[in-house]
Structure 1
Amino acid sequence: MSLFEKQKVVGYWGPVTSSVDWCEENYTHSFYIAEFWNTVSSFAMVVLGFLGILAHHRSLGWRLSNGYLMIVVVGFGSILFHGTLQYEHQMWDEVPMVWTACYLLWVLLQENGYEPIRYGVGISLYCALATYVTSQSKGSTQFYLFQTSFGIVMWSCLWFVWKLYKNVQNNQVIRLFHQGGKFLGLAIGVWLFDSNMCFIYDYVPNPQLHAWWHVLMCISLHYFFVATGFELMGTQQHRITYYANWIPYVQLLDKIE
C-alpha cells in the first residue's frame, strides 16, 4: 500500500497527523489501533523497564534504575504514537526519548569525572532546546530535526560506553558488550530498511521491521545496561547472573541468602 493510500485509511483516531507514518498498513487488525504490530511491540519497552527496575534497584542504585523507569515512559509514549498516529501522541514518544538520552549522558559524564552540576545544566539546556525543536516543527522537517537532536546525544552516550568497554578485563562483561553491539547494529539496520524501503512491500510480505526494531533495541539496551552497570559499580559484591539461564542481570551478593 502506497503512502497516499495509507493516509486515506481512517480508523477510530481519524486521519494521520503525525510527521511520519511507518510501513505497516494502518487499521488492518483493529479499527481502534492504527499500527497494530508497532503498538504491540512497544510493550517490550514497558516490560524491559519494569523488569530492569525490579532486578537492579538495589544492585545498581537509583541512577541506572531511573534509566529503566524512563524507558517505561518511552514505551507508553510509543504505544500512544503507533496506536493513534496523532502528532500530539507522537510527542509522547519522541520527547521522552530525548529526555532519556540526555539523562543517560548525564550519568555517564558523572561517572567519567565530569562535574555533575555544570554539565547537568548544559545537558538540561540542550534537552530543553531539543524538546522545543521536536515539538514545534512539522512534517519531514520535524522528523529529521528530532532524529538529529536525539542522535547527537545517543552517539555521545555510545562513545562513553566505548571508552568503558576498552578497559574491561572481565570476559563475561566483554561478551555482554558484544551482544549489545550486535543487537544494536541489527536494530539500526532494520530501522533504516523500514524507513526507506517501504515500496518493496508492494511485492513481498511486510515482516514488520519497525516492530522488530522495538524488540531488538530493548535487548541491546538491556545488555548495555547490565555490562555498563556492572563495570560502574566496580565492587566484588556484584556479579552477573542469568535468569532462566539466558536473561543477564547484576546481582548484589550480600543480598543472597
Structure 2
Amino acid sequence: MNKEGVEGYWGAVTSSVDWCEENYAHSYYIAEFWNTISSLAMVVLGLLGVALHHRSLGWKLSISYLLIVVVGIGSVLFHATLQFEHQMWDEVPMVWTACYLLWVLLGEHGDYGKRKNSYGIGILLYCAFATYVTSMNKGTTQFFMFQTSFGFVMWSDLYLVYQLYKKARPETLKLFQQGTVFLIFAITVWLIDSNLCFVYQYLPNPQLHAWWHVLMCTSLHYFFVACGYESVWKEEKKTNVRIGYCLGLIPFVQADDKDGRKKES
C-alpha cells in the first residue's frame, strides 16, 4: 500500500504485486520493513533444519531446508526493494521448492515411488514451464500465472502429505495436525492481506503478510519433520530415531548411536 508521493532508495515499484504494508514507512532503504524482517524466519528455519537433520534424515531433507533458505533470501530482496527482478528471486525458488518436494513425496508412495525417475522427468519439465510463465510475464498476468502454476504443485504436495498422514505412526500424528493448523492460519492471513487492504484505511495494519511468512515456514517445518520420520521408518526401519525437541520447543528427528547415546547435530 503506497503512500502517495513516497519513494525510497529503490525507486518506483516495478514488482507485479505490492502488499498492504505501507512502503518506506520505517526506513528509506527498505520498502516493506516488516515483510522483509519476517522473511528472515525462513532463512533461520532452513539453516536450523539442516543443522538438526543432516545426520538423521540425510540429503533429501537437507536440500528441502536449503531451498527454504533460498526462498527466504529471495523474499528479503523482494520485499526490501519491490523490484521485479528481485520478486523473481522470491517466486521462482518457490516453484523449484514445490516441484522438488513433489518429487521427494512421490518417492514415499508405493507405485509412484517405483517410477520416481520417470515422474522426475515430468516434474522437471513442468518446473521449467512454471519458471518460464512466472518470469516472462508482467503485471497482474504474471501474478496470476505464478499463483496458478505454484498452487497446482503445492496442493499436489499437500495431497501426498495427507496420504502419509492417514498411515502415520502415533509419534507423528500430532506433528501433522500441528502443521495443518499453522497452514490454515497462514493461508487465512495471506488471503485477508491479499484482498482486504482497503480496511487499513480505517484500522491499524496487523502486518498479516509478515505473519504469513512465519506461519508458513513453521507449518513446513512440522510437515518436514513428520514426513521425514515416516520416511526413515518406512525405508530403513530404523529403531534408533525419535522425535526430539530443540530447546524443548522445536521438533526434530533425533538419531541415537547404536549404544543408545543421542547423536545431535
Q: Which position in structure 1 is the counterpart of 2:201?
A: 202
Q: Partners of 1:65 and 1:74 in 2: how far apart?
A: 14
Q: Which position in structure 2 is the counterpart of 1:145?
A: 145
Does the CA contact (< 8 Å) of 2:169 and 2:230 recur in 1?
Answer: no
Q: Partners of 2:229 and 2:90 in 1: how far apart?
A: 29
Selected match of 1:37 from 34, 37, 40: 34
Q: Partners of 1:169 and 1:250 in 2: how far apart?
A: 14
Q: Which position in structure 1 is the counterpart of 2:229?
A: 230
Q: Which position in structure 2 is the counterpart of 1:116?
A: 116
SS in 1 for 2:103: helix
Q: Which position in structure 1 is the counterpart of 2:173?
A: 174
Cα-to-partner distance string for 1:97-132 (whole Å, 9 max, x where unaligned):
000000000011122224222111100000000000
Q: Partners of 2:107 and 2:224 in 1: how far apart?
A: 16
Does the CA contact (< 8 Å) of 1:7 and 1:15 recur in 2?
Answer: no
**RMSD of aligned Cα (Å):** 1.1
Selected match of 2:104 from 92, 107, 121: 107
Does the CA contact (< 8 Å) of 2:57 and 2:232 recur in 1?
Answer: yes
User: Judging changes above 3 Å, is the alpha-carbon distance between structure 1 residues 98 and 8 closer, same or farther for their aligned structure 2 residues?
Assistant: farther
Q: What letter matches 2:44 in structure 1? A: V
Q: Partners of 1:25 and 1:36 in 2: how far apart?
A: 9
SS in 2 for 1:29: coil
Selected match of 1:86 from 69, 83, 86: 83
User: Judging changes above 3 Å, is the alpha-carbon distance between structure 1 residues 224 and 26 closer, same or farther for their aligned structure 2 residues?
Assistant: same
Does the CA contact (< 8 Å) of 2:189 and 2:209 recur in 1?
Answer: yes
User: Displacement, 1:8?
Assistant: 4.0
Q: Partners of 2:57 and 2:105 in 1: how far apart?
A: 14
Q: Which position in structure 2 is the counterpart of 1:256?
A: 262
User: Displacement, 1:9?
Assistant: 2.1
The percent of aligned pairs where both chains have the same amino acid is: 67
Q: Partners of 2:5 and 2:120 in 1: how far apart?
A: 45
- What are structure 2's unaligned runs of at least 5 residues? none
Q: What letter matches 2:67 in structure 1? A: M
User: Displacement, 1:169?
Assistant: 3.1
Q: Partners of 1:71 and 1:114 in 2: how far apart?
A: 27
User: Displacement, 1:7?
Assistant: 6.5
SS in 2 for 1:111: coil
SS in 1 for 2:180: helix
Q: Which position in structure 2 is the counterpart of 1:189?
A: 188
Q: Which position in structure 2 is the counterpart of 1:136?
A: 136
Q: Which consecutive segments of 4 or more residues in structure 1 shift more than 6 A?
A: none
Q: What letter matches 1:101 in structure 2? A: A
SS in 1 for 2:107: helix
User: Displacement, 1:237?
Assistant: 1.6
